[in-house]
Structure 1
Amino acid sequence: MSIFSPPPAQYSVRVGRIRSQITMAAISKVESHTSGARDVEKDVVRAQPATEFPEDSKTDLDDDSTHVQEGVKRVEAITAVWSRKSLWSTFALLWLVCFVSSLLASIDTALSPYVTSSFSRHGLLAVINIAARVIGGVVTLSIGKLIDIRGRMEGFVGSLFLITIGMIMKATCQNVETYAAAQVFTWVGKVALGFIISVFVADITTLKNRMIIFAINSTPNIATTFAGPKIAELFYTRVNFRWAFGAFTIILIVVSLPVVFILYYHEMKAKKLGVLRPKSGRTRWQSTVHYIIEFDVVGAILISGGFTLITLPFSLVSSASHSWQSASIIVMIVMGVVGLVAFVAWERYFARVKFFPFEFLKDRTFLGAVLSHFVVFMTTFIWDAYYSSYLQVVQALSISIANYVLNAYSLTSYFTGPFIALYIRYTGHVKYPALIAVPIYLLGTALLIYFRVPGANVGYLTMCQVLVGFGAGMINQMAQLATMACVRHQDVAVALAIYGLFGSVGSSVGYAVAGGIWTNILPVKLYEFLPDDAKNMTATIYGDINQQMKYPIGNPIRDAVIAAYGDVMRKMVIVGSALIPLTIICVAVWRNINVKKLEAMEKRARGNVF
């Protein structure tokens, strides 16, 4: 789920200095008011020879308070004044928020083909997601900066607001343009919510225990994988998709309010005890100018616009009057490249606070981790973008059953997550499990080339999803932890934001490739395979999934649609499989990090954490 420029990474172990964020006077007050709180002044590391922690050492050792952002100070103050009971209550409430958020996302995904089809624009599924995912990834950097400057609570509330706006727009949309805008709001809010929860979990856990809570927070997906599609089907068949969006948005807000209350209560308590300093004293105008500079609005616009303009033409080209020779397509690509070049120039010469911390990418482990996340998302969404539609049209599955098969990918990842987290907890290894996972991911994707054909047994498709989910889940889990292990605690938010950005851009590239294949090949294949007396129906069938399933299997028109789907989907899987070996290179450059050793080097007093 930052735009300031952090200090360069340092890998030497600095062990002679132990600093405290909270004064002894504040600690005495905290101890007198907080039952069960640990002594946050306790030294958690002893002097060790630098040779004991070779290249593993992260840029941690937060012993300079001048570099600590206000949002980080706030969360450290909260963990200093809350009790063990509050800590575990927060874990439970965050799990509940993750459950409802995952359920809403599952319902949304299952209904998306029918929403676009209601406007006869089924083929725009990929186009809509390209812009949403690019913007979502870029905005995460701004959100990372926001929660570092202002606080986790403000970011949490802001993400709920974006989801609410997006879902209201979806529930009331009357055209595909409004739905596309709503998808941007919804996706940005969903990404922001998950990102902020991840950052907050990182704030209240130690490095070796962190993936345990991350994995537990992902377990709701095991239930929502089955519940979401079925609920979506019931709403679609008995009510309509609009009520589904509205109902579960309200539920999400209700379950999120207790988390906001806990954060607000303990922040006020920290202020009362003198742990937090008073506000800066800036005027409203001074604060406005300050945040415009801090958020680097120009940089955010340039990078998001650049990526969007480069990836969109792949899906839009089939509708342009002159295909790739169309002036609009050429202008979009040129402007996208210009936007990215301008972004680099702006960051290099003009930005007072840099939007993107390029210094982090000098660390080969950090760079390899985020690139592996990019490649996994890119290769997955090349063949996954229209998979739900394929299962319903070609395999004649219902909305719920089709999404059960589709979600076997994520189900496997979420089910195995806690076991992988326990492995990390007790061994500390990160690199070797990721290397083992890459061949499994490649095997699952490559088998789809053989099994994703008309008439194939659905069980084999599910088996492939399980293999892909296990491999991709392990790679992403290790990559996320490697990313956090390379930075200090105060930089975790921006590290996770960069990690999320690479994933979002990777998925948008995957959607762009999928959209390009779909929009350029499927209409041609439909026209080729349809009977002569039905060729005039090509555009209608292409634009509406309901028209594609209108005729029973065995009817010449339905068989033509199935043949066209089979041809296009095979090409998608081949392209996705061919790019997976890039993941091996990305993982191979990681240092052999052991997070158990890294945790011993953490010097910042972080209060009552797990």
Structure 2
Amino acid sequence: MGRAPLLDPPVDVSDSDSEDEYESDDEAPARRGWLVFLGIALAAYIYSLDGMTTYQYLSFATSAVRHHSSAGTIGTVQAIIIAVGKPFMAKIADVCGRGEAFLVVATLYLIGYLTIAAAGSISTIAVGNVFYAFGYTGLQILLQIVIADMTSLRWRGLVGGLVSAPFLINIFVSAEIASRVLPDWRRGYVQFALVVPLMLAPLIIALLSQKRERLRPQHNLGTALRAAAAEMDFVGLVLVAASLALILVPLGIVPADNNNWEHTTLIGMGLIGLLLFAAFLAYEWRVPAHPVFPMRWLRRTPILSACLIGFFDFTSFYLQYTYLYSFVLVTEDWGLKTVAYFVYTHAFSITVFGIVAGAIMYATRRFKWMLFAGLIVRLLGVGIMLRARSAEGSTFELVLCQVLQGLGGGFAGIATQVGAQAAVGTADIATVTAMTLLLSEVGNSVGSAAATGIWNTYMPRDLAEHVPTTNQTLLDELFGSITDIVEYPIDDPIRLGAIEAYRSVMHRLVSWAIAIAVIPPIVCLFLTKDVRLSNARAVAGLDEEPTTPVRRIRRQSSRMSRIASRRSLRTDGTATPDELEHLVPRTRTPEYV
């Protein structure tokens, strides 16, 4: 028996009848298939290089405008956009097409990075990061969707891990780029504004050429936009984004004085956010025909466990990771290249063990106990951080924590995603992928917001306690810019005091991260089912489940029955076409194939 191929030929799952409409020679689709493969490789490479390099630029950009602490707030806003943007981009990909969605991503990258490069204030940096965050999350989800289109369940974990392989190279490439560019962060952003669209071009061309072959000629852009408006749960996206922003962003703007927690504006924002979040849940439960957050899927324990594990794991991780780059830059006497190597040890190990996890899943056709082991290792890694990031910690312990976090994350990330996808049919893969990643990124935003709140609350007082000075202007400068701190020699009393302050705040962040990291293994143990993974792209028989809420289907069925009882059939037992039109429910046909 022959083995299944690593990647099945690209298929379109939206309408099986479309293949008969156009005919082409065998060579053109094959050439486009290889172009898609090349495009995926280039897109995956620039995705990892961008994320690993520009992350280092943000700390210098915020320090340049004396708002280093605002990096956490920007990270919170980015996480909210990344969370909300995933289902948004998934809907665009489903309705308008994969190629068009990638084109939108390239445009967002270009606008975002050029805006940041020209920024002269923290507000402009924040606006640029909004555009960038939409592009980043779009590229992330679209790569996963295209991979899901092309692979079976058995192969998907391994292929997903292989697509992350560029991280193995870019840990060195990004460190080299950053060390040569910084502190000129503006030049770095301009470089990626130009390179990212260029690297996405082959994939966009390949996907758009496939689309043109299969597109019904009578449909135009206006039809596509109307279809997108009808299919996209825009109200739900707005509600969840507004609620998360109003709840979480105030944590990042809390002043150092604890009395300001009682400020009516912050309290009001939080209360309005909670009300909007409740409205979002109620709306998603009853109103939309195509909800961005299908509540019915939470009844399936594989999807529920994937959502909970992703949420709490990301919350724990970003509590201790949000200010890690700044922490190491201040507390260790390392160069920029060494700091980059250290920070991305986690990315390196999560990539390696993600590939190993995919291979294990392929060989065993199981994932639950590998997921559980990964979460336990992740908990062990964050636990060791208490000592590693203290005055007694060593360089070996610092690196060991990063490796353990990556090992556990590589196992857990791949298994969680495939487990959720195995619980739905082919037509729902894009939406369930976006849904699980949505909850994970909400955890990211919660962790970043909590870290920023703790940082802004305790860092000013710890600097005042440990830095041997009463000059408030100097203390404010140390709080607002890490570049001012690293200008002092490592043995200078000012630098030593700042180091103690950073360690004190980091101890609080890690303690909270440990408490939350206990939850995912418990969820996995009791909720995750150990499903056998097949060679199919999805579990058979799940495509038939309706996306329309059950109550609406029952009302429609009851209405159709009443209409049928009132209408008289002809004596021969048949019905007229007009009568049949009222008896048969109207359904929307896909605009594109």
- Aligned pairs for 1:71-86 (under 5 A) are 82-83=29-30, 86=32
Kept in 2: contact 1:378–1:506 (CA 8 A): yes
Give distance in 2, aligned partners of 1:429 and 1:344: 33
Which structure is richer in relative contact order (CA contacts within 8 A, separation 6 or more)?
Answer: 1
> For the structure 1 residues 419 and 88, does the alpha-carbon distance in structure 2 shift closer, same or farther, using more than 3 Å as the test?
farther
User: Which one-letter code corresponds to 1:360 in the other structure?
Assistant: W
Length-normalised TM-score, structure 2: 0.85
Structure 2 SS opposite 1:33:
coil
Asked if residue 465 in structure 1 is aligned to residue 402 in structure 2, the reply is: yes
Pair 1:309–1:235, CA change in 2 (3 A): same
Deviation at 1:500, TM superposition (A): 1.5
2:378·2:409 contact (CA, 8 Å) conserved in 1? yes
CA deviations over 1:49-101 (Å, ceiling 9, x no partner): xxxxxxxxxxxxxxxxxxxxxxxxxxxxxxxx832x54344223211221122
Of the structure 1 ranges 200-209 and 451-460, higher mean CA displacement relative to structure 2 is found in: 451-460
Q: 1:333 — aligned with what?
A: 270
Aligned partners of 2:124, 2:134: CA distance in 1, in Å?
A: 16
1:242 matched to 2:189? The reply is no
- 1:320: Cα distance to partner? 7.5
Kept in 2, the 8 Å contact 1:104–1:249? The answer is: no
- 1:306 equivalent in structure 2: 243
Shift of 1:120: 0.4
Q: How does 1:49-64 map to 2 (within 5 A)?
A: none
- CA displacement at 1:296 relative to structure 2: 2.9
The answer to whether structure 1 residue 380 and structure 2 residue 317 are counterparts is: yes
Q: Does 1:33 align with 2:21?
A: no
1:131 aligned partner, one-letter code = V
Q: How does 1:15-30 map to 2 (within 5 A)?
A: 21-23=15-17, 26=20, 30=23
**Aligned CA-pair RMSD:** 2.4
Deviation, structure 1 residue 533: 4.2
1:270 aligns with 2:207: no
Deviations 1:109-155 (A, max 9, x none): 01111000000000111111111111221121121111111111111
CA-CA distance at 1:521 after TM superposition = 0.5
Q: Determine the structure 1 residue equivalent to 2:78.
A: 132
Structure 2 distance, partners of 1:97, 1:25, is 28
8 Å Cα contact 1:444-1:468 kept in structure 2: yes
* Residue 255 in structure 1 maps to residue 199 in structure 2: yes
Letter in 1 for 2:428: D
- 1:400-549 equivalences in 2 (<5 Å): 400-454=337-391, 456-549=393-486
Q: Tell me by how many angstroms 1:565 deviates.
A: 0.5
Q: Secondary structure at the match of 2:151?
A: coil
Which amino acid counterpart does residue 367 of structure 1 have in structure 2?
Answer: L
Moved more, 590-599 or 136-145: 590-599
Task: Show the 5 A alignment for 1:171-250.
Answer: 171-237=117-183, 240-250=184-194
Shift of residue 556, structure 1, vs aligned partner: 1.5
Q: Partners in 2 of 1:24 and 1:105 — Cα distance?
A: 38
Q: Do the aligned residues in 1 keep the contact of 2:160 with 2:414 (CA within 8 Å)?
A: no
Native 8 Å contact 1:136 1:184 kept in 2: no
Q: 1:596 to 1:353 in 2, by over 3 A?
A: closer
Aligned identity (percent) is 24
Which portions of structure 1, spanning 4 or more consecutive aligned residues, are displaced by more than 6 angstroms? none
Q: Which residue of 2 aligns with 1:573?
A: 510
Aligned with residue 142 of structure 1, among 83, 88, 112: 88
The answer to whether 1:323 aligns with 2:315 is: no
Counterpart code for 2:277: L
TM (norm. structure 1) is 0.82
| Maintained 8 Å contact 1:20/1:604 | no
Aligned to 2:234: 297
Aligned length: 530
8 Å Cα contact 1:395-1:454 kept in structure 2:
no
Q: Secondary structure at the match of 2:332?
A: coil
Structure 1: gaps of 5 or more residues: 1-18, 36-80, 272-276, 606-610
The Cα of 1:24 is off from its aligned counterpart by 10
- Whichever residue aligns with residue 344 of structure 2, its letter is N
Unaligned ranges ≥5, structure 2 = 1-12, 544-593
| One-letter amino acid of the structure 1 residue matched with residue 303 of structure 2 | F
Q: Secondary structure at the match of 2:490?
A: coil
Corresponding residue for residue 166 of structure 1: 112
How far apart in 2 are the matches of 1:287 and 1:33?
Answer: 28
Letter in 2 for 1:186: Y
Of 570, 590, 598, which residue of structure 1 is paired with 2:528?
590
- Return the letter of the residue paired with 1:203: D
**Is it true that 1:355 corresponds to 2:289 in the alignment?**
no
Secondary structure of the 1:441 match is helix
1:383–1:572 CA contact under 8 A, matched in 2: yes
Tell me the CA shift for residue 594 of structure 1. Answer: 1.2
Paired amino acid for 1:574: S
CA distance in structure 2 between the aligned counterparts of 1:257 and 1:25, rounded to whole angstroms: 26
Q: 1:431-490: per-residue Cα shift (whole Å, max 9, x none)? A: 110011122111111011011113632222011100111001211110011111111111
Aligned to 1:118: 64
